[in-house]
Amino acid sequence: MSLALPVRKYDAIVVGAGGSGMRASLELARAGLKTAVLTKVFPTRSHTVAAQGGIAAPLANSTEDNWHWHMYDTVKGSDYLGDQDAIEYMCRRANEVVVELEHMGMPFDRLENGKIYQRPFGGHTQDYGSAKMAMRACAAADRTGHAMLHTLYQQNLRANTQFLVEWMALDLIRDPQDGAVVGVTALEMETGEVSILQAKAVLFATGGAGRIYAASTNAFINTGDGLGIAARAGVPLQDMEFWQFHPTGVYGAGVLITEGVRGEGGYLINKDGERFMERYAPNAKDLASRDVVSRAMTTEIKEGRGCGPEADHVLLKLDHLGPEVINQRLPGIREIAIKFANADPVREPVPVVPTVHYQMGGIPTNYLGRVVVHEGSNHESIVPGFYAAGECACVSVHGANRLGTNSLLDLLVFGKASGEQVVKDLQTSPKPHRNLPKDAGEQTRARLARLEAAGSGERVADVFAELRRTMQAHCGVFRFPDDLAKGVERMKAVAERAARVYIQDKARTFNTARVEALELDNLVETAMSTIVSAEARKESRGAQARADFPERDDKNWMKHTLWYKEGNRLAYKPVQLKPFTVEAFEPKARTY
Amino acid sequence: MDAAADSRSKEMRLRWKCRRGLLELDLVLETYLQRTRYDGELVELLDLPDNEIWDFVSGRRDDYEQRFAGIVARLRAT
Ligand SMILES: Cc1cc2nc3c(=O)[nH]c(=O)nc-3n(C[C@H](O)[C@H](O)[C@H](O)COP(=O)(O)OP(=O)(O)OC[C@H]3O[C@@H](n4cnc5c(N)ncnc54)[C@H](O)[C@@H]3O)c2cc1C
């Protein structure tokens, strides 16, 4: 391919049309910037649609509450790895963004007095971690994410945002002078044509990458494209060792079974029928926090008390609740269990395993959504023209562990903040587009040309399956030193195989095999950054639980990991422990 | 476009339309597509929001339009 790629010019490009991308694009379109939003799938089909639980905001509609308490919970939940400036910023803007969403038409559940109804959620407390729960989660029935996406989509249509649907971003284009981002290459699936989208600002909102694990609650589109693209362009990935596991994903399928089941009295048993959580958490039992339950389940399986022919899962028992409770108070659960576990929970227990759910790490940004890298002694050197928000970004508000309902809040606050920052950057000192570098698009052309030319090699599906198996076996809930070291080697072999994949279908138009091959490159970067970062961090903190270093080590490890693709190397930067206006929360043991 | 290329393109388009926001649907549709290359009714069903499709497929709701009766039954049997 020697022909130059066609170029389209915009003021700003947003990659991703989930909650964060559409919240950001709304700011851009309303400010009158010529904006394009790229998305692999139709906007309202983004993975945000799956969110059920709610959005955190200290509105204090049902219980006393304020942003200080919310901030404390978030800092503690992060196991003190979260940046306290960003956390303060998020909690202080929470009420504003949720009320704004209400005014846009979001159908929140309501109290009799008309205010937004709020429910309790794990880890959200009153009065700095007291035993009293804060009612802080705002929801729209069990369809919060769906309602949020539809609301934001309608607002964007009104603001004349231009959506490029079924367009896949492939690589970043950076100015070699100072590393500024000046555009992306992208594939229009319908035609198979690759273009350069040139812009003064590029904002990534590509979501999570949970598909790197064999057991995942994430939909198939969550392949970590933004992470792979950034890493290939020399941007480090931050804190990738931290992945949240949800205790109850359906064995073999991943589909999430809500905590509500255990809230209603369901409990976990091992192959002997023992209610094992009584041993691990005598008080909270099956309702202990996600990481505690996931670790207990994994220990049972490791010690040979797992169920099934492979002894590789445990069972969630709820038949004792009776069909009425199951049907009425746990809508949808029976259908999921029957469909994906072939078990009717009214009669028999449901096989479950800890299942990867959420990525705390990502592209490093500051609280204004600007991508920052580490340069010499400056940990916060700004990459001009590059912004990120949502699950693909690491602000970092979630640190080593995210609290439920804080992710949707993150999308709204930092989607908005990053959009505002782009507008400010483009409008306070208006400049023409920079020239594209001479080799713009070359990286993409080379990737596509290799796929085009290869007549034999590895199958995408085989390499992907091996990648997921490797991550599951070597970098799961519990991390063992030998496993991790072997896992890094196994991942290197996966990466080598991925470089040799070929596709049989060479058609130009709507070639899903090509798309999947391109996604595989992003999965490889995400998985590699995860396992290398996990192997190096010699402590247990939040979602990283090491058998050989079971304690948190603030003296040596209260720092953010940065993984660079080049050289597969790591660097570290300090955690921002100083909030803007309040006293810092000093690290304490994280007990609930 | 010749007929073979045309039907390939339709199949591929459907395949991509089956990439959804809900994992539940990804899984059901993946299995369904292993046996069926193309299904015009499915193409139309996939224009509905994810949660609505899942409600129909899982049997939580039965108030789908008559034109979807066939495909909903086929997906329920998947
Ligand atoms: C089952 C489930 C339930 C959850 N429940 C809750 C909850 O109750 N509360 C809560 O706070 N959090 C919840 N979470 C987490 C939360 O839903 C996600 O973190 C959040 O929705 C991610 O939003 P996002 O905007 O970052 O990305 P997404 O919504 O995943 O959107 C990503 C977008 O990027 C696009 N994209 C990706 N790659 C490319 C590319 N290469 N080119 C073009 N476009 C691309 C996609 O098409 C999509 O539009 C839940 C998660 C799961 C899995």
Chain-chain contact of A340 with B50 (C-beta, under 8 angstroms): no
Triad A254, A332, A148: Cα angle to 5°: 80
Chain-chain contact of A49 with B5 (C-beta, under 8 angstroms): no
Atom number of ligand 1 nearest to Cα A411: 25
Chain-chain contact of A41 with B27 (C-beta, under 8 angstroms): no
Residue A532: phi and psi, rounded to 5, are -65, -40
Contact (CB, 8 A) for A90 and A417:
no
Atom number of ligand 1 nearest to Cα A391: 26
Instruction: Choose which residue among A194, A391, A394 to substitute to test ligand 1 binding: the one with the highest number of ligand atoms within 8 A of its C-beta.
Output: A391
How far apart are the C-alpha atoms of A161 and A33, rounded to whole Å? Answer: 9
Residue of A167, A221, A159 whose CA lies nearest to A29: A159
> Which residue has its alpha carbon closest to ligand 1 atom 9?
A405
Which of chain A's residues have a Cβ under 8 Å away from the Cβ of B28?
A: 339
How far apart are the C-alpha atoms of A338 and A345, rounded to whole Å? Answer: 8
pLDDT in tens, B5-53: 888 889 999 999 999 999 999 999 999 999 999 999 999 999 999 999 9
Q: Which fold has domain B3-76?
A: DNA polymerase; domain 1 (1.10.150)
- Residue A269 domain-assigned? yes
Which of chain A's residues have a Cβ under 8 Å away from the Cβ of B14?
A: none
CA distance A373 to chain B (A): 32
Q: Report CA A251 to chain centroid distance, whole Å.
A: 21
CA distance B7 to chain A (A): 12
How far apart are the C-alpha atoms of A197 and A34, rounded to whole Å? Answer: 12
Contacts of range A546-553, beta carbons closer than 8 Å, 24 or more positions apart: A546/A478, A546/A479, A546/A480, A546/A481, A547/A478, A547/A479, A547/A480, A547/A481, A548/A480, A548/A481, A552/A79, A552/A80, A552/A587, A552/A589, A552/A590
What local confidence, expressed as pLDDT, does residue A1 receive?
41
Atom number of ligand 1 nearest to Cα A48: 21
What local confidence, expressed as pLDDT, does residue A170 receive?
98
Give the one of A45, A340, A512 whose C-beta lies nearest to B15's C-beta.
Answer: A512
> Measured from the CB, is residue A249 less than 6 Å from ligand 1?
no
> Measured from the CB, is residue A52 less than 6 Å from ligand 1?
yes
Chain-chain contact of B50 with A49 (C-beta, under 8 angstroms): yes
How many angstroms separate the alpha carbon of residue B41 from the centre of ligand 1? Answer: 28
> Measured from the CB, is residue A539 less than 6 Å from ligand 1?
no
Chain-chain contact of B22 with A336 (C-beta, under 8 angstroms): no
Cα–Cα distances in Å, from A256 out to A118, A341, A353, A477? 22, 12, 10, 16
What local confidence, expressed as pLDDT, does residue A94 receive?
98
How far apart are the C-alpha atoms of A53 and A429, rounded to whole Å? Answer: 42
What local confidence, expressed as pLDDT, does residue A291 receive?
84
Give the one of A47, A146, A335 whose C-beta lies nearest to B58's C-beta.
Answer: A335
Which residues are within 8 A (CB) of A309 and not within 5 positions of it... i.e. 6 or more apart? none
Tens digits of pLDDT across chain A (592 residues): 445 899 999 999 999 999 999 999 999 999 999 999 999 999 999 999 999 889 999 999 999 999 999 999 999 999 999 999 999 999 999 999 999 999 999 999 999 999 999 988 888 999 998 888 899 999 998 899 999 999 999 999 999 999 999 999 999 999 999 999 999 999 999 999 999 999 999 999 999 999 999 999 999 999 999 999 999 999 999 999 999 999 999 999 999 998 888 888 899 999 999 999 999 988 888 888 788 899 999 999 999 999 999 999 999 999 999 999 888 878 789 999 999 999 999 999 999 999 999 999 999 999 999 999 988 888 899 999 999 999 999 999 999 999 999 999 999 999 999 999 999 999 988 899 999 999 999 999 999 999 999 999 999 999 999 999 999 999 999 999 999 999 999 999 999 999 999 999 999 899 999 999 999 999 999 999 999 999 999 999 999 999 999 999 999 999 999 999 999 999 999 999 999 999 999 998 877 6
- Token duo for residue A125: 């407390």
What local confidence, expressed as pLDDT, does residue A181 receive?
98
The pTM score is 0.96
Q: Which residue of B has its CA nearest to A49?
A: B21
CA distance B45 to chain A (A): 14
Cα–Cα distances in Å, from A573 out to A95, A540, A546, A584? 31, 18, 21, 18
Helices A512-536 and A442-453: angle between axes, nearest 10 degrees = 110
Chain-chain contact of A339 with B58 (C-beta, under 8 angstroms): yes
- The ranges assigned to domains in chain B are 3-76
- Residue A545 domain-assigned? yes
> Which residue has its alpha carbon closest to ligand 1 atom 27?
A207
Q: Which residue of B has its CA nearest to A47?
A: B21
Residue A299 belongs to what domain range? 250-355
Q: How many domains does one find in chain A? A: 2
Contact (CB, 8 A) for A297 and A314:
yes
Helix (H) or strand (E) holding A418: helix A406-428
Catalytic: which of A136, A290, A402, A447? A290
Instruction: Choose which residue among A46, A156, A190, A410 to substitute to test ligand 1 binding: the one with the highest number of ligand atoms within 8 A of its C-beta.
Output: A46
> Measured from the CB, is residue A39 less than 6 Å from ligand 1?
yes
Atom number of ligand 1 nearest to Cα A406: 11
Triad A337, B54, A253: Cα angle to 5°: 40
B51 and chain A: CB distance < 8 Å anywhere? yes
Is A590 among the catalytic positions? no
What local confidence, expressed as pLDDT, does residue B26 receive?
97
The ipTM, to two decimals, is: 0.96
- Residue A462 domain-assigned? yes
Which of chain A's residues have a Cβ under 8 Å away from the Cβ of B5?
A: 507
Atom number of ligand 1 nearest to Cα A408: 11
What local confidence, expressed as pLDDT, does residue A406 receive?
97
Alpha helix segments (H runs only) across A242-305: 260-263, 277-280, 290-302
Residue A174: phi and psi, rounded to 5, are -120, 145
| Coil, strand or helix at A587 | coil
Give the one of A220, A256, A331 whose C-beta lies nearest to B26's C-beta.
Answer: A220
Q: What one-character DSSP code corresponds to residue A541?
A: B
Give the one of A50, A166, A219 whose C-beta lies nearest to B16's C-beta.
Answer: A166
Contact (CB, 8 A) for A426 and A11:
yes
Triad A267, A270, A274: Cα angle to 5°: 70
Q: Which residue of B has its CA nearest to A336?
A: B58
A490: domain CATH number?
1.20.58.100
- Residue A562 domain-assigned? no
How many angstroms separate the alpha carbon of residue A138 from the centre of ligand 1? Answer: 18
Chain-chain contact of B23 with A332 (C-beta, under 8 angstroms): no
Which residues are within 8 A (CB) of A397 and not within 5 positions of it... i.e. 6 or more apart? A74, A78, A82, A83, A86, A87, A90, A406, A410, A414
> Measured from the CB, is residue A518 less than 6 Å from ligand 1?
no
What local confidence, expressed as pLDDT, does residue B40 receive?
95
Residue of A570, A148, A116 whose CA lies nearest to A361: A570
- Residue A80 domain-assigned? no
Contact (CB, 8 A) for A353 and A384:
no
- Residue A242 domain-assigned? no
Q: Could you tell me how many helices (H) and strands (E) chain A has, helices first? A: 16, 24
Q: Report CA A301 to chain centroid distance, whole Å.
A: 27
How far apart are the C-alpha atoms of A89 and A528, rounded to whole Å? Answer: 31
CA distance A509 to chain B (A): 7
Query: Quick one: CA dihedral B28, B31, B35, B38, positive or negative?
Result: positive
- Token duo for residue B14: 């459907």
Contact (CB, 8 A) for A41 and A207:
no
